Structures are given as structure tokens and as C-alpha cells.
Amino acid sequence: MNFLNLAETNAPFADDLVAAASRVIRSGCYLHGPETRAFEKELSEQCGADFAIGVSNGLDALRLILRACVELGRIRKGDAVMVAANTYIASVLPVTEFGLIPVFVEPDSDTMNFSWTEALRFLDENSRSVSPLNVSVALITHLYGTPCWDSHAASIMRERGMLIVEDNAQAIGALAASSGFSGSRSTGALGDAAAFSFYPTKNIGALGDGGAVTTSDTAIADTVRALANYGSDRRYHNIYEGYNCRLDEIQAAMLRVKLRHLDRETAARAETGAAYDRYISNPIVTKPTIFPDMTQVWHQYVVRVPENIRDALRAHLASEGVPTDVHYPDPPYLQPCYEGRFRPKTLTPSIALSRSCISLPIANVNVAEAKEVARIINDYRP
């Protein structure tokens, strides 16, 4: 068993992918062409946002959103951005890059996502502080494929004038339940703008780097588009000091092949996740919560065990041929690049999570294999 084998992931589509690549190679159009336009349309339809802009990768998608909001005057340098304490560092890098102050929000123990309760508590405390931060953004990460959403808390933030930016790198196809809108709504269309990553290991992965910004805000869409193309609104006319963050036509063409199979991919992961949930019964293991009112897309299936046996259980699984991973070994604020800069008083939950989590294989794992992994876990005694 592999933790993830991308040749296997892409094998069912390989002929279509080669045909798509061949079509682009022979077309002579390699950037900003028909494949990207079609992919943008298909992605906006998938999530229900008015606009999708294909960009270079997920980190750049977040960079472009924050930079666009700075250019539009909706965020000012020195503002604070609330961000999950247990996310990948790519969610935090754009915050510090643009001179914004990250406020790390500890995870909820049930969702393993940014705790809305803690976020609101922080906002209340901050507003009573003598020198309150100007908290202008909640940057929510739908970690592991579980929507991070609380429509009531989000409304309170919106009433305070905050922007809600989604890091949807891990949750394409997920649906959040809400009392704020009828039925469910896709991640990528919950906040003011969302960043998608199509890194090859993602549920919908490019064959290289790729990403997208979705939004229903025309000004954000226009600004992101310009910033991603040297800051130009037309050829050789640079209205912003921009970047080069374009999506290649060849990647757009291949993403279109794979996006057509998103529902199948989501269903396969749901089946495997359900099998893990059903068959893992070792009491030392805390399984991820399955929320009946939302669609989780299981980018990772992350169990938690006591810190002191985490490595032993991983070794036990490895010895039985089951590779595992850890997402993530350290919270971003403990990375050397942020040494001594961002350590709020108590950060126990994110550190504890980083030391207790194990990601089980989920991609291309069928029910029989999940059952076997569960048996190996159930046989384990510390």
C-alpha cells in the first residue's frame, strides 16, 4: 500500500490527460487561452461563485486575494488576520508577507478546524483592549476536507466589517450546512474570496502546480486578475506592481479532465472514510467526527492517539506495510522563520494536535484495504 501514488491516481485518466496535453501543445496557445477560460467557468459552476481565476498555485491564490484587498483599501497594513493555528504554513505566509499580523486561532477539538467560538471570544477581548488590533480578516482553512464554517459566527464578523477569506486548498467539493442560506453551500463560495490549490496530491490535482481564486466580488476578481499578470489591466499597462501568477493552459486542460470526475473522487473518499469510521475500534484512537449535515471530502483522514504512542503506532502500521503521514508535524508559528515572533500565551491544542495526529492513507484505498488497515490498528496494544 502507498500513502499516495500519483501514477495510480492519474492512471484512469492518463489517455485523456495525454490527449489534452497534446491538444494544447499543438495549439500554439499556452497561457490565458480557451482551456483556462473554460476551466474557470467550470470551476465557478462547481462551487457557485460568480468568478474563478486560474492562477499558479494555492499559495499565490491566497497572496493575490490579500494583496487585492490591500489595493482595494479593504485591508490596511498592520491589520490583524485571524488564521488557524494548526494549518499548513502556506496559509500564514501571505499574511506576514503583506505586513499583516496573524492572530492564531486554536482548533476546535471536534472539527480540528479554526474554532469560531475562540475567534469570537478573541474579537470580544480585543474590542475591550486598550489598544485593540484592527482585525479585518478571518482566513479560514477547510482543513483535511472538512468545511470550517459557522454561519452565525461569520455573520457577526461580517457585521463588524470583517472579510472572510477561505483557504479551500483541501476541500474542493465539500459542502457546508448553514442556517444562513437554504440547503448547503460549497466551500469556495462561503466567504468573500477563496483560494484553491491544485497541487498534484490534492483531491483534484494538476500535473504540476496550479491554483485558483473564486469570488463573487467583481472588484476582487478584476484586481486579482491584474495582479496575477504583472499588475496590468491591458498589455504593457501596469496599474499595480504585480506578479506573474498565471495558470498554464496545459494544466487547465488537464484539470478540466479531472474536474469532471470530482463527484466520483469525493464518493470514493467518503466510502473509505466511512469504512475507517466503522471498522476502527481501538479505544486509544480518536476518529475524525463525521458531520451528517455537511459533505466532507476527506483530503486527509486524520486520527488522533495519545502523544506518547503516536510514533509507536505509526511504526506498527509501517511494519505491516501501511504508510502514514503527519499533517502537520509543527504548527506554523513554531517554524524557524517565525522564531520568537508569534506565540500567544496558550497554544496547547495546536501543539497537542501536531503531536497526536496520524493521517491514514485515503487516496485510492478501497473498503477492503481500509478494513485491513483498521484491523492492524485494532490489533495494536501500547
Subset of residues 247 to 286 that bind a second copy, contact rule: CB under 8 A: 248-251, 254
**Which residues touch 335 (CB under 8 Å, ≥6 apart)?**
89
Print the binding letters for residues 70-99 with a second copy: x by CB under 8 A, - otherwise: -------------------xx--x--xx--
3-state class (DSSP) for residue 319:
helix
Question: What's 207's DSSP letter?
Answer: S
How buried is residue 306: exposed, middle or buried, by Cβ count under 10 Å (0-12/13-18/19+)?
A: middle
Give the start-end residues of each E strand in 43-131. 51-55, 80-84, 101-105
Candidate list 43, 207, 365, 370; residue touching a second copy; CB under 8 A: 207
Least distance CB 195 / a second copy (angstroms): 12
Least distance CB 240 / a second copy (angstroms): 5
User: Which C-beta is closer to a second copy: that of 168 or that of 251?
Assistant: 251
- Asked if 8 interacts with a second copy (CB under 8 A), we say yes
Which has the closest alpha carbon to 109: 289, 359, 342? 289
Peptide bond into 230 cis (omega under 30): no
What is the total count of residues that contact a second copy (CB under 8 A)? Answer: 61
- Asked if 340 interacts with a second copy (CB under 8 A), we say no
Strand partners, 137: 81, 163
Print the binding letters for residues 289-328 with a second copy: x by CB under 8 A, - otherwise: ---------------------------------------x
User: Which C-beta is closer to a second copy: that of 30 or that of 279?
Assistant: 30
- Asked if 60 interacts with a second copy (CB under 8 A), we say yes
User: Which C-beta is closer to a second copy: that of 186 or that of 324?
Assistant: 324
Dihedral of alpha carbons 230, 88, 106, 183, sign: positive
- Overall residue count recorded for the chain in this entry: 382
Print the binding letters for residues 220-239 with a second copy: x by CB under 8 A, - otherwise: ----------xx----xxxx
Specify whether the CB–CB gap between 262 and 173 falls below 8 A: yes
- Asked if 152 interacts with a second copy (CB under 8 A), we say no
User: Which C-beta is closer to a second copy: that of 236 or that of 346?
Assistant: 236
Backbone φ, ψ for residue 113 (5° rounding): -105, 160
Task: Tell me how far apart the alpha carbons of residues 313 and 242 are, in angstroms, rounded to a whole number.
Answer: 48
Candidate list 43, 53, 59, 169; residue touching a second copy; CB under 8 A: 59
3-state class (DSSP) for residue 92:
coil
Specify whether the CB–CB gap between 327 and 301 falls below 8 A: no
Least distance CB 182 / a second copy (angstroms): 37
User: Which C-beta is closer to a second copy: that of 175 or that of 207?
Assistant: 207
**Positions in the binding site for a second copy (CB under 8 A):** 5-11, 14, 17-18, 21-22, 24-31, 56-60, 89-90, 93, 96-97, 200, 205-209, 230-231, 236-244, 246, 248-251, 254, 328-330, 332, 335-338
